[in-house]
Chain A
Amino acid sequence: AQRVTQPEKLLSVFKGAPVELKCNYSYSGSPELFWYVQYSRQRLQLLLRHISRESIKGFTADLNKGETSFHLKKPFAQEEDSAMYYCALTPSGGYQKVTFGIGTKLQVIP
C-alpha cells in the first residue's frame, strides 16, 4: 500500500528563516514523489517533482530512499510562500494513482 505522511499540519516561521516541510512515504516499489502547493483561493498546482531535481521558487526536495523521505526545504522563507503544501506519491510507470499526504499549512510571519 502507498502511504504519505506529513507530520505537521501547521508550520509557522518568520520571514527570512529556513523552512523544512517534512514528508515520509511508504511504498514497496519505486515511487515518484511530488510536492504540490495550494495558495489561498487557488487550485492545487505542482511545485516540484523529485525526478526533475530542480529548484522552484527557491524550494528544493531530495528523495532519500534510505529514510523514505522527501522533505521540502527553502533557506529563506518569504511571505508569499504561505500556502498549503501537499506531498504526493505515485508508482513509477504504469498505473498513475496518486496518494497525497494530509498537507502542511505553511505560515510565514512578517
Chain B
Amino acid sequence: GAVVSQHPSRVICKSGTSVKIECRSLDFQATTMFWYRQFPKQSLMLMATSNEGSKATYEQGVEKDKFLINHASLTLSTLTVTSAHPEDSSFYICSATRQRGGAEAFFGQGTRLTVV
C-alpha cells in the first residue's frame, strides 16, 4: 500500500521559535495533501489542503501566516508553525491521496508538537 511518512514524530521547541514538519509520500505521487490537527480525545480538524505547485487552501479560523504550508513537489508538503506558542502544542497529522475524487487517504504517523 501507499506510504506517507511524517517527520519528525516528536518535537519540543521554545516559545517564539518556528518548527517545520515534513510530509512525504514515499511510493506515490500526491497531487493533494491535507494537514490536520488533533486535540486530545477529539477528532481530526482539517487545517488546510495543499496542492502541488499552488497555494494552500486554509479552513476557516486557521491562520495562514501562522501555519505556513508549502507543497513544492508531488511527494513533499511541509507545515511550518511560526512563532510557536504553548497553545500550538498539539498532534499534527498529514494525509495524501493519489487521485481526485473520493480516493482513499493515506496518513502519516503524526507529529507531536510541544511548545514550552
Binding site for B on A (CB under 8 A): 9, 32, 34, 36, 43-46, 49, 51, 86, 88, 90-94, 96-103
Contact = CB atoms under 8 A, between A and B. Distances in A.
Given A43-B107, A90-B102, A96-B102, A102 B97 contact: no
Contacts of B46: 97-100
Nearest to B6: A43
Nearest to A88: B105
A96 B57 CA distance: 12
A53 to B, nearest CB: 14
Contacts, number: 54
Given A97-B46, A102-B43, A45 B107 contact: yes
B102 A51 contact: yes
B109 A43 contact: yes
24 contacts: A9-B41, A32-B102, A34-B104, A34-B105, A36-B105, A43-B108, A43-B110, A44-B44, A44-B95, A46-B104, A49-B102, A49-B104, A86-B43, A90-B102, A93-B101, A96-B32, A96-B49, A96-B100, A96-B103, A97-B34, A97-B46, A98-B34, A102-B42, A103-B43
B105 A98 contact: yes
A100 B100 contact: no
